[in-house]
Amino acid sequence: MTQTAWLAGKIALVTGGASGIGAGIARVLAAAGARVAIGDLDGGAAVAVAGELPGTGARLGVRLDVTDRDSTDQAVTSVERELGSIDVLVNNAGISSIAPFLDISDADWERLMGVNLRGVLVVTQRVLPPMLRRRSGRIINISSMAGKEGLPNLAHYCATKFGVIGLTQSLAREVAADNVTVNAVCPGVVRTPLWDDPDTGILRQLDGEKGWRAFVSGIPLGRPQSAEDIGHACAYLASDAAANITGEALNVSGGQQMH
Ligand SMILES: NC(=O)c1ccc[n+]([C@@H]2O[C@H](COP(=O)([O-])OP(=O)(O)OC[C@H]3O[C@@H](n4cnc5c(N)ncnc54)[C@H](O)[C@@H]3O)[C@@H](O)[C@H]2O)c1
């Protein structure tokens, strides 16, 4: 089977897929033959990005707030109605902020935990039961290099991303007997609005391009990752080729992290 047909007939939902890494993941899954739904807080952008996905398979953009169970239920129900049962869930929606440890507010902590960690719980609890009934499914959680190693001024973000890996391993063991695999992907650095947003981007607090170069300078392969690099890892984990892999946390970091 050619790589382009890897995911033929599969139905995938990518949360936070209207921007950055999620949009790249959606493009790669669609190019590999999947029917892809993008669920995002920004419903208009989800529809727009879904409309531009490559390939000929059906696609859908829906508003989905991963922190809200009703919004999640409505979005997943419309994916099931329009495209069919979800075979592949990519929990990608995530936010960040930079703050020295002593300045992390309760509101910041709750906001990051709510989207990055509880959001994975909420969406997975809605999508998983039909996978268990069908004894087939792939769950892929986007963690981070910051999910395996603490970084200064990112304690709240790192705590969420370490949590994603813990959740991934626990659930992987819990549902392995039902033939559902659960893995994480850990991107290194991908230049997205998470870095560049004028209001919330990390570079706003990090000396702009100098801060970016500092993050990129330690990458052994000498370049940042693209959103598609992360998408290729997800496509592999979603494919039959990865049927015997579960509980993994796969680095896509150009060698910046090796454990
Ligand atoms: N960019 C990087 O260098 C990098 C590195 C490691 C991990 N990550 C992780 O990758 C994921 C994607 O990050 P990105 O850089 O593409 O960010 P991004 O800001 O470009 O995209 C995030 C998307 O998530 C959506 N979103 C935010 N809150 C949401 C909610 N409550 N419900 C649904 N959607 C919501 C946003 O609307 C946006 O479309 C995040 O989990 C992030 O932590 C990013």
Mutation pick for ligand 1 pocket among 13, 15, 21 (CB with most ligand atoms within 8 Å):
21
pLDDT at 1 over 50: no
Which atom of ligand 1 approaches the CA of 65 most closely? 32
Ligand 1 mean position to 22 CA, how many Å? 7
Kindly report, residue by residue over 212-249, the tens digit of the pLDDT.
Answer: 898 899 999 999 999 999 999 999 999 999 999 999 99
Q: Is 226 helix (H, G, I), strand (E, B) or coil?
A: coil
For residue 85, the model assigns a pLDDT of 98
Rounded percentage of the chain residues whose pLDDT exceeds 70: 98
Q: How far apart (Å, rounded) are the C-alpha atoms in residues 219 and 237?
A: 24
Instruction: Tell me phi and psi for residue 105, to 5 degrees.
Output: -85, 160
Ligand 1 mean position to 111 CA, how many Å? 13
pLDDT band at 165 (very low <50, low <70, confident <90, very high): very high
Q: Is 68 helix (H, G, I), strand (E, B) or coil?
A: coil
For residue 2, the model assigns a pLDDT of 47
Kindly report, residue by residue over 57-90, the tens digit of the pLDDT.
Answer: 899 999 999 999 999 999 999 999 999 999 999 9
**Confidence (pTM):** 0.98
Mean pLDDT for 102-130 is: 98
For residue 65, the model assigns a pLDDT of 99
Q: How far apart (Å, rounded) are the C-alpha atoms in residues 40 and 42?
A: 5
pLDDT at 11 over 90: yes
Which atom of ligand 1 approaches the CA of 64 most closely? 33
Which atom of ligand 1 approaches the CA of 19 most closely? 39
| Half-sphere exposure (Cβ direction) of 220: Cα atoms closer than 13 Å | 7
Of the listed ranges 10-19, 111-120, 130-139, 200-209, the least confidently predicted one is: 200-209
The architecture that CATH gives domain 3-194+227-252 is: 3-Layer(aba) Sandwich (3.40)
For residue 211, the model assigns a pLDDT of 84
pLDDT at 33 over 60: yes
For residue 4, the model assigns a pLDDT of 66
Ligand 1 mean position to 179 CA, how many Å? 28
Ligand 1 mean position to 174 CA, how many Å? 27
Mutation pick for ligand 1 pocket among 15, 38, 41, 49 (CB with most ligand atoms within 8 Å):
41
Q: Let me know: does 153 contact 99? Beta carbons within 8 Å.
A: yes
Write down the catalytic residue from 157, 162, 212, 236.
157
Which atom of ligand 1 approaches the CA of 17 most closely? 39
Single-letter code of the amino acid located at 136: S
Ligand 1 mean position to 116 CA, how many Å? 9
Residue 236 known to be catalytic: no
